């Protein structure tokens, strides 16, 4: 006769979890010393022949360069029609809050450091209203495609016939703002430089910024220039001419009261950040080697509701945790010990991918490798995309009879795991079906286009797996980058992000 099972259930009610990093918390910090788009970034570029041509996609070798040292990102190249942009797609921030953007850029110089002869269109720091550029809650790159020439590669709404009918870069309903760096050199205005705050809705220059009649060394300096935008409730301070410990020059822009009344006032919205560049017939390179965004908002990669553990009927330990919301999360690790000291615990070598959902998500894990009766303690470790971790627990389970059978693991509707992730060349998708339904699982690129259908059929209730080999529907190998996967089963939609690394 089996002994009576004694169960201890411990439920921890938890609030928001965040790492406090002083006055500011870092949303991202990227040095672009890479040879392909880093995780969390969507980077694209095209060489065209006119304002209306799509152009040929630039390769990673076109976008990432070096001068014999570290790599950097190049957003524009040589004469002709070039456009390129880089967006951080793994996080947003309140544009009306307190935030600080630091950048190291090299604007308007040829690759060998010579000053250009005809000027160039420049560079844009872009702040996009997330509600106008998202699909299924994620940044849709097809909605942020920039144009050639005079708009520095930035996306915009309105003015669909500027500079010519059918010009690339227009998106109905797009809203946001840009800090524009513009300059040129001609017989009328030698080395005239502009720093402007621009309304992306119809590309209205706000009248805020700095106009310089002569070259100050900002654009045509002998190296990289560090600049900073620091904002507080719509008042933005632009600082430049970095001296190693402080900036020599700065000016303020009140974006709530632009002199040009046709320009929208800054309003509160969750923003995606991007940087764009375009060459409209001139010869110049605009290059970036550092972008760092900080905010005084509490960065909440994870809002945990509960973490609990029970013994199953088969005397295994069943763990469950519930999250309110997740942002920029990588996943979870599980540790087990025989006392409540974490340092004495062991890693179960389990990594469960995060859903990164704004909705409540329930995770379950059954530890079926317990082979002795006794008291067991479990810890849950969360990990974000930047490698930062938080620890929850311990929760305790007492096993009073040796397990005899494999536990019955409940089916979870939707995508339950993707492993490995990041991956190369294959990854396995595990998903569950609770009721008979026609089900599709499709892979999307950063432009929101379906590139691969993994399954499209009717399923009975149960758990299933499919494999993606990193190829599109034509059998062509996909490039490195971030992809979105969406499962639709009946009225239920489940999605995950995947990172293909080659």
CB atoms within 10 A of CB 239: 17
The DSSP line for 135-162 is ETTEE-GGGS---SGGGTT--B-S-TTS
Sole residue written with tokens 């309110």: 324
User: What gap in Å lies between CA 379 and CA 371, rounded to an integer?
Assistant: 19
- Report the topology of domain 12-18+301-399: Immunoglobulin-like (2.60.40)
User: What gap in Å lies between CA 119 and CA 109, rounded to an integer?
Assistant: 9
Give CATH for domain 414-500. Answer: 2.60.40.4070
Sole residue written with tokens 């690790």: 333
Strand partners, 128: 176, 272
Which pLDDT does position 409 carry in this prediction? Answer: 56
Nearest by Cα to 389 from 332, 319, 325: 332
User: What gap in Å lies between CA 62 and CA 238, rounded to an integer?
Assistant: 30
Sole residue written with tokens 């620091």: 230
* Cβ proximity of 287 and 86 under 8 Å: no
Indicate the SS3 state at residue 130.
helix
Distance of CA 210 to the CA centre of its chain: 31
Which pLDDT does position 214 carry in this prediction? Answer: 52
Which pLDDT does position 3 carry in this prediction? Answer: 32
Q: Does 12-18+301-399 match 414-500 in CATH topology?
A: yes
* Cβ proximity of 179 and 197 under 8 Å: yes
* Cβ proximity of 312 and 318 under 8 Å: yes
Residues recorded for the chain: 502
User: What gap in Å lies between CA 440 and CA 433, rounded to an integer?
Assistant: 12
Tens of pLDDT along the chain (502 residues) come to 233 233 333 333 333 333 322 346 778 889 999 898 988 899 999 988 888 989 999 999 999 988 777 889 988 766 678 889 999 988 889 999 999 999 998 876 544 444 444 445 678 999 999 999 998 788 899 999 998 877 778 899 877 777 888 889 999 899 999 998 776 554 444 445 678 899 998 888 898 887 765 545 555 545 788 999 999 999 999 998 888 888 888 899 999 999 999 999 999 999 999 999 876 556 677 889 999 998 876 545 677 777 888 888 778 888 988 886 677 788 899 999 999 899 999 999 989 888 777 666 778 888 988 888 889 999 999 988 877 788 898 999 988 866 555 555 566 788 888 888 888 889 999 888 888 888 899 998 877 788 999 998 888 888 888 999 999 988 888 988 888 888 888 877 788 888 888 7
- Show me where the domains of the chain are located: 12-18+301-399, 25-224+271-295, 414-500
Strand residue runs (E) in 342-387: 346-353, 361-367, 374-384
Nearest by Cα to 409 from 313, 271, 273: 313
Would strands 270-280 and 64-66 be described as parallel, antiparallel, or unpaired?
A: unpaired
User: What gap in Å lies between CA 6 and CA 400, rounded to an integer?
Assistant: 6
Distances, alpha carbon 233 to alpha carbons 28, 184, 268, 295, 411, in Å: 21, 32, 9, 12, 47
Tokens at 78, concatenated:
């040589």
User: What gap in Å lies between CA 183 and CA 76, rounded to an integer?
Assistant: 15
* H or E stretch at 63: helix 60-63
User: What gap in Å lies between CA 32 and CA 38, rounded to an integer?
Assistant: 8
DSSP state of 191: T
DSSP state of 262: T
């Amino acid at each position: 006769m089996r002994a009576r099972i004694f169960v201890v259930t411990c439920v921890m009610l938890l609030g928001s979890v965040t790492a406090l990093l002083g006055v500011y918390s870092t949303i991202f910090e990227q040095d672009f010393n890479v040879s392909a788009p880093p995780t969390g970034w969507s980077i694209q570029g095209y060489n065209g022949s006119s304002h209306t041509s799509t152009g040929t996609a630039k390769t990673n070798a076109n976008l990432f360069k070096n001068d014999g040292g570290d790599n950097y990102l190049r957003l524009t190249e040589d004469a002709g029609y070039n456009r390129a942009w880089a967006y951080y797609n793994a996080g947003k921030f309140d544009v009306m809050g307190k935030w600080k953007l630091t950048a190291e850029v090299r604007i308007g110089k040829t690759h060998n450091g010579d000053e250009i002869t005809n000027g160039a269109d420049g560079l844009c720091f872009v702040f996009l209203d997330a509600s106008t550029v998202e699909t299924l809650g994620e940044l849709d790159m097809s909605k942020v495609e920039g144009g050639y020439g005079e708009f520095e590669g930035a996306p915009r709404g309105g003015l669909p016939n500027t500079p010519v009918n059918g010009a690339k870069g227009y998106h109905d309903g797009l809203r946001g703002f840009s800090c524009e760096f513009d300059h040129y050199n001609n017989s009328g205005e030698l080395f005239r430089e502009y720093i402007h705050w621009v309304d992306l809705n119809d590309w209205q220059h706000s009248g805020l910024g700095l106009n310089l009649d002569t070259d100050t060394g900002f654009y045509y300096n002998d190296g990289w220039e560090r600049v900073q935008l620091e904002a507080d409730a719509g008042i933005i301070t632009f600082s430049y001419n970095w001296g190693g410990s402080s900036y020599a020059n700065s000016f303020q822009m009140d974006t709530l009261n632009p002199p040009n009344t046709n320009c929208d006032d800054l309003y509160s919205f969750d923003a995606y950040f991007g940087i764009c560049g375009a060459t409209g017939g001139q010869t110049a390179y605009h290059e970036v080697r550092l972008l760092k965004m900080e905010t005084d908002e509490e960065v909440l990669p994870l809002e945990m509701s509960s973490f609990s553990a029970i013994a199953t009927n088969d005397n295994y330990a069943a763990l469950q945790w519930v999250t309110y919301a997740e942002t920029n999360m990588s996943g979870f690790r599980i540790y087990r010990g025989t006392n409540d000291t974490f340092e004495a615990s062991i890693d179960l070598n389990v990594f469960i991918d995060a859903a990164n959902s704004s909705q409540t998500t329930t995770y379950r894990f059954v530890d079926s490798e317990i082979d002795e009766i006794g008291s067991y303690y479990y810890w849950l470790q969360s990990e974000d995309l930047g490698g930062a971790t938080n620890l929850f627990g311990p929760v305790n389970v007492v096993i009073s009879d040796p397990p005899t059978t494999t536990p019955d693991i409940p089916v979870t509707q939707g995508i339950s795991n993707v492993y490995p992730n990041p991956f190369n060349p294959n990854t396995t998708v595990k998903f569950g079906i609770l009721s008979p339904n026609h089900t599709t699982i499709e892979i999307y690129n950063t432009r929101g286009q379906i590139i691969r259908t993994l399954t499209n059929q009717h399923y009975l209730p149960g758990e299933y797996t499919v494999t993606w080999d990193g190829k599109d529907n034509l059998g062509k190998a996909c490039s490195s980058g971030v992809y979105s996967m969406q499962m639709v089963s009946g009225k239920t939609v489940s999605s995950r992000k995947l990172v293909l690394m080659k």
